[in-house]
Structure 1
């Protein structure tokens, strides 16, 4: 009975909708865990996973819950490496004195050196092939390690991350975060992969492990460096980790630990420097919650690339209007305007004069105002290796969001991210405010590398503009390249002029026929609404 009561903790939430989801998807029983344990023991590949847990003045109850969640793992081949960073309050030692499991290793340091060095100390204690990170007051779901090892039976993984939720002060689960699949540009905005992360130990050692001077963001720094060395990255779209909102936690009191965000800035600054990107600086994004960052691009990027701005209009008056609209925006850029109509053959003819190493932007006559000029930001992200196209944020005449990138639900429905929401809506995971990877952007304004257009022989003939561009995006995604939505660039659109339903349906039919999925839209999110709500 006591065991069953413990397992019920994973389905308790003050959020009714989330509690229903938990009951349907994370409802554990002793029988279920026994079955998972049997399967785990029958796995052909059963590597040891070393869980690193640096601690400092932990709350005894919360520490016990964290350790118990490890002891409850259905996958048995693990070790827990606990390292105390010279705590002042030793009341938690009673908890450790009651532990008898040989898989738990404990070390108490003789001086305080910070969480980065303490994490490195724990790393050096590990004997497993993989290393997982865990905070002293958080909890793993019982199938956390099992889920990872199950994936390893079918594919090689160097970096694994899962979805997570949070534990409130009353003990219930809430604040779920269902993440996208691997999104390199999103990671430059905040540490979205955090909790639950597992790394191949050899790779961690190759990049130098945890670095002193990045206290509080040492895991962020590690992830940024690790993911530059491998493409064997896997996101598991299921809640495996609960981040506790305790009094000492960053989840509860972010302003108590400002050094964490200074370290985050430093980690991103190091990253863009390693990648030789034309960046002027990195700051915290003050429009969002702490821990979100913004890259400021150097003006040298303006003269470094030729821009071809393709103006698409129903008539000459419309393309002239667009030219007038953008002349002030591009005054300091090297820009060539090219006017055309919506006919794909005419657009393709216009594109034959572009330079391979230039950037090509498309703007159609549904655009009526430049609300915020983030053209330099779109160029910055377009300069990144692997990014082939960029888009922006659109608002309508009522100052409501029209979309900030497009998603395709598992049902095949096209979702306009946060359509109808207030312009200043921050969105789930900050998606309306920060650059992120998407499968599609709205074609009324977008940019692309000239080389990518030429390599694909421009657009497919015999189709309308909307379908042709969406099909082009599909080709980009299928080739393993990326599209980034950059909401710092915001345009006002006249949605009453839009007429693309027939082309949308044709494109979506093709998408579903090819069995594609939108890897940047978590399958646990709604396929009906456009607010990134939970699917229940």
Structure 2
């Protein structure tokens, strides 16, 4: 729990572990989750702890348990970020560069209008302080009425020939002013800068270094934070890599944004009429030309967004016109690029929900539900799907794995009378992957749905929402938002690397929580989603060879499937608009025997061998965020 309150323990048991097993699990947790030992071999950790214990004269088990307990320690986020700035960011900074004559010229676009001179000076000074020298600052003043503004800009123009200034005679708002600044640009790349924000001193140098690694880069963006009137930095936004569906849900890229000037001119610069969301609109119009290969994300704080009274940084509701402009920008993009897709306001401020069309000829969906006994959870699951699903063109294949319970068998006979339902017997030891692969051979649908027998739909359009995404040719696996019965989050998508292999995003958050930068309310691309409720086209399932029944009989087979689908070139996706309850592994039970624990360990080790460093570098996450917890807190 994150605050004082009441709680209930509904079940508690103690299981005696063999000494060797307890030690192995302790070392495994240190390898997966301790900041000093993460990624190291268990034997290496064991020897290091014994050596440290010998030197300090204490029993090695006491020291090992001390380190083990450290993996459960939490810290306050605000203190955490100040500590992060001191301890982590300082190690990221690079030494000042030389002239780098072959580096690109950056044109920073700076529209101004009646800016507080103190904040304007801080902004321009942060450009003058850049360690990379090949830049020009293109300032377009939008007919400011403050005479001090003009004097300030002329002063800087005289001080440095790289600063160019144009004074507009009529106020045209930010898009027109940005276009005026764009006309001054001579650089190969443009960077967007707001008139009261500041850049990190090494911002352009880091961008230059990344362009050197990827000369075809069309878009480069960084992480950002906010800075208050006292100059204190707070609220860091550590972003994912290129995430097209998240960009349709909100402008997660925001600052720092650097674009190839040729591309910006090609799409027509800034569009008048989208003021307040002009940067988002520009990115959306560039999107047809962007992909994983030419978009570069720098996971470092290179931009400080000024949070002052009335600013968008301070309050998402301070500019209602910005939300309206963003809605128009997304709508215009969809109208140009996708027939039948529409947009409406999202459930969080300044976010958007895209409604994708289902083909007129609705595809048949084959829902695969493995089960063994478990009448008490199976019946609510099946009954809810049959009665609480608006999408009509589906079949439900119950895959019975050696049920013996008379109630269950009677129910299976009863429910099979429904023409949408069929029962198929799998008379072998439990193997989740094999059972679903078996069921897929009977599936008649174009779309497969992997559904646990402890799932209950909440909103009746859950399947329509998931089918609409699964029909998109670029999308692979589609996941849903799952809750525990007490309305806390069970699954907000899968984050690779958490706990060693993978963990569930935002686990235990409250149902209505926004999550990290509203991500619990946003459709987005993720590396993986849980197989408890997962849809994908049958052709994609077959293309990647289905689920791995040889190496992943119980755990991580869904993550492995998603990674194979991603490897094949599809984007996986999670939607918060398909909501279901999940009673999580009630039917299978806990891993509370030595045999089960050994199996779980083998499967985790196989995932580490199969996917290696990919598990520690999730492109839908950020290396500055924790791989210990599931709450997007700092690493």
Q: TM-score, normalised by structure 2?
A: 0.76
Match of 2:371 among 303, 313, 327: 313
Residue by residue, what CA displacement relative to the aligned partner does 1:220-259 show, whole Å, maximum 9, x if unpaired?
0111121221321111111100110123422224444222
Please state how far the C-alpha of 1:413 moved relative to its aligned partner.
Answer: 4.8
Q: Does 1:531 align with 2:631?
A: yes
Please state how far the C-alpha of 1:353 moved relative to its aligned partner.
Answer: 4.3
Q: Does 1:25 align with 2:88?
A: yes
Please, what is the CA RMSD of the aligned residues? 2.6
Tell which deviates more after alignment, 227-236 or 409-418: 409-418
Q: Does 1:251 align with 2:316?
A: no
What's the counterpart of residue 608 of structure 2?
Answer: 512
The answer on whether the counterparts of 1:52 and 1:119 sit within 8 Å (CA) in structure 2 is yes
Q: What is the 5 A alignment of 1:52-451? A: 52-99=109-156, 100-156=159-215, 157-231=217-291, 232-279=294-341, 281-285=342-346, 287-288=347-348, 290-298=349-357, 300-301=358-359, 303-315=361-373, 321-341=380-400, 343=431, 344-354=433-443, 358-368=446-456, 370=458, 373-409=461-497, 412-451=500-539
The answer on whether the counterparts of 1:436 and 1:485 sit within 8 Å (CA) in structure 2 is yes
Secondary structure of the structure 1 residue equivalent to 2:581: strand
Secondary structure of the structure 2 residue equivalent to 1:37: coil
The answer on whether the counterparts of 2:526 and 2:620 sit within 8 Å (CA) in structure 1 is yes
The answer on whether the counterparts of 1:400 and 1:423 sit within 8 Å (CA) in structure 2 is yes
Residue by residue, what CA displacement relative to the aligned partner does 1:272-319 show, whole Å, maximum 9, x if unpaired?
22232533x42222x42x311122345x54753221111221249566
Query: How far apart, CA to CA, are the structure 1 residues paired with 2:325 and 2:235?
Result: 24
Please state how far the C-alpha of 1:147 moved relative to its aligned partner.
Answer: 0.7
Identify if the C-alpha distance between structure 1 residues 364 and 533 changes in structure 2 by more than 3 Å, giving closer, same or farther: same
Query: How far apart, CA to CA, are the structure 2 residues paired with 1:502 and 1:227?
Result: 47
The answer on whether the counterparts of 1:166 and 1:174 sit within 8 Å (CA) in structure 2 is yes
What's the counterpart of residue 6 of structure 1?
Answer: none
Query: How far apart, CA to CA, are the structure 2 residues paired with 1:170 and 1:372?
Result: 49
Identify if the C-alpha distance between structure 1 residues 212 and 354 changes in structure 2 by more than 3 Å, giving closer, same or farther: farther
The answer on whether the counterparts of 2:200 and 2:304 sit within 8 Å (CA) in structure 1 is yes
Identify if the C-alpha distance between structure 1 residues 54 and 469 changes in structure 2 by more than 3 Å, giving closer, same or farther: same
What's the counterpart of residue 10 of structure 1?
Answer: none
Query: How far apart, CA to CA, are the structure 2 residues paired with 1:185 and 1:439?
Result: 13
Secondary structure of the structure 1 residue equivalent to 2:97: helix
Identify if the C-alpha distance between structure 1 residues 475 and 505 changes in structure 2 by more than 3 Å, giving closer, same or farther: farther
**How many aligned positions are there?**
512
Please state how far the C-alpha of 1:347 moved relative to its aligned partner.
Answer: 2.4
Please state how far the C-alpha of 1:365 moved relative to its aligned partner.
Answer: 1.1
Please state how far the C-alpha of 1:109 moved relative to its aligned partner.
Answer: 0.5
Q: TM-score, normalised by structure 1?
A: 0.89
Is there any run of 5+ residues in structure 2 with no aligned partner, and where? 1-75, 401-429, 592-596
The answer on whether the counterparts of 1:311 and 1:322 sit within 8 Å (CA) in structure 2 is no
Identify if the C-alpha distance between structure 1 residues 140 and 396 changes in structure 2 by more than 3 Å, giving closer, same or farther: same
What's the counterpart of residue 453 of structure 1?
Answer: 541
The answer on whether the counterparts of 1:177 and 1:429 sit within 8 Å (CA) in structure 2 is yes
